Amino acid sequence: MTRLRTEATALLPELVALRRDLHRQPEIGLDLPETQATVLRALDGLPLEITLGTATTSVVAVLRGAHPGPAVLLRGDMDGLPVAEETGIDFAAANGNMHACGHDLHTAGLVGAAKLLAAKRESIHGSVIFMFQPGEEGYKGAKVMLDEGVLEAAGERPIAAYGIHVAPGPRGTFSIKSGPALAGSNTLQVTVHGKGGHGSQPQTATDPVPALLAIASELQTMVTRRFSVFDPVVLSVTQLQAGDAINVIPPQASLGATVRTLSPESVETMRTETNRLASGIAAAHGCTAEVDFEVQYPVTINTPDQTEWVVSELRGLFGEERINTVEQPLMGSEDFSFVLEEVPGTFFFLHCSPEGIDPDTVAWNHSPHVLFDDAVLADQAAALAHLALTRLAD
């Protein structure tokens, strides 16, 4: 274990340089040509079987060990966010996008794991699939890669899958939860149809705006009255749209909301109750409502026995004090959930706030001010490589 960490530390300058190159050129969605080219250059010369995606600019690299055995999948997502960076660091992005969720570290850390494992190919019993994924931020990139056969890349489906996500917090500590670890993500769109008219003559129109505002308000009450606190739901109205002219009552108005759930039962209740609430309020205002509720990402569920094993292995690799097990899930979402629906495995967090940052005021993921200390890249690469090596040896 100590030797693997030493080998990972030797790679750190190379991984930091790669991460900073990636950070300077964040790309959005499923089409990441520059990022893909950077990853391919970083993997060049390693004994890998590489396949490129067709529906997306993914990279799937397979390392076949010298001895027969099963396969394990390791994943790193590569896309950025449409956030203008305000960190002030000397390698900040300047194209209007930002790696504000740390996917540049995920990509560099996975490259590091590939290098560590390639150097140990002669002792590996089985194969490792390296899943470099675009489109995690709302584009279902993992689902696209599943449809293109990432799970069959080694010739047989993997017996386990592992992924690490960076987050603010005490540098070098890990957080892991068994079972439901992150919420499912759903979108809610409500459009209220009325009758337009002149702003000075509301009695001649059927104004959809008051109905929409009432719906937006009552959605919050509905969450507190229709769902158990032990199966929580988070609903945030993030979009309100109506007319363009200030003196015109529009014929329709709409809202958009993100809804986070932790169970299939909550999804079905939300689907039923939002339709009932919106239709009832709209009718009370003489309007009609059109409701579209879409499931985007499922709940991220860490396999309990796999996760217990991961906790034990990480404690052996890094020490008891650096590994934290948590009781409550995060209400954020993650499309690695699509992989964990198919393969047992674990998705966990590595904290990496730079020293000197106040934990009470630290900027979080998706903020234009968030900072990640890339000194953790050696530990990230070592953790992924160790889990793959040990799981295949088992």
Q: Would you state the pLDDT for residue 1?
A: 65
Select from 297, 323, 347 the last residue of a domain: 297
- pLDDT mean over 285-301: 96
Q: 59: domain CATH number?
A: 3.40.630.10
Q: How far lies 165's CA from each of 77, 204, 212, 270, in Å?
A: 9, 55, 37, 29
Instruction: Give the domain range for residue 198.
Output: 184-297
> Is there a single domain that holds both residue 30 and residue 69?
yes
- Same domain as 188, residue 120: no
- Asked if residues 88 and 144 have their Cβ atoms less than 8 Å apart, the reply is no
In a shared domain, residues 58 and 166: yes
Residues 234-244 pLDDT 10s: 999 999 999 99
Q: Are residues 374 and 238 in the same domain?
A: no
Count: domains in the chain: 2
The answer to whether the CB of 174 falls within 8 A of the CB of 86 is no
Task: Kindly calculate the radius of gyration of the chain based on its CA atoms and give it in whole angstroms.
Answer: 23
Q: Which helix (H) or strand (E) holds 295?
A: strand 288-297
* DSSP track, 155-221: SS--SEEEEEEEESSSTT-EEE-SEEEE-EEEEEEEEEE-B-EETT-GGGSB-HHHHHHHHHHHHHH
Are residues 78 and 176 located together in one domain of the fold? yes
Q: Are 32 and 124 in contact (CB under 8 A)?
A: no
For residues 229 and 316, membership in a common domain is answered with: no
Distance between CA atoms of residues 165 and 147, nearest Å: 23
Per-residue pLDDT tens digits for 330-350: 999 999 999 999 999 999 999
Rounded average pLDDT over 124-148: 97
Q: Which of 278, 297, 316 is the last residue of a domain?
A: 297
Half-sphere exposure of 173 (CA within 13 A, CB side): 14
Tell me, yes or no, whether 158 and 262 share the same domain.
no
Q: What is the CATH number of the domain that holds 226?
A: 3.30.70.360
**Strand-strand pairing, 174-176 and 323-325:** parallel
The answer to whether residues 374 and 314 belong to one domain is yes
Instruction: With 0.95 as the threshold, say if the pTM is over it.
Output: no
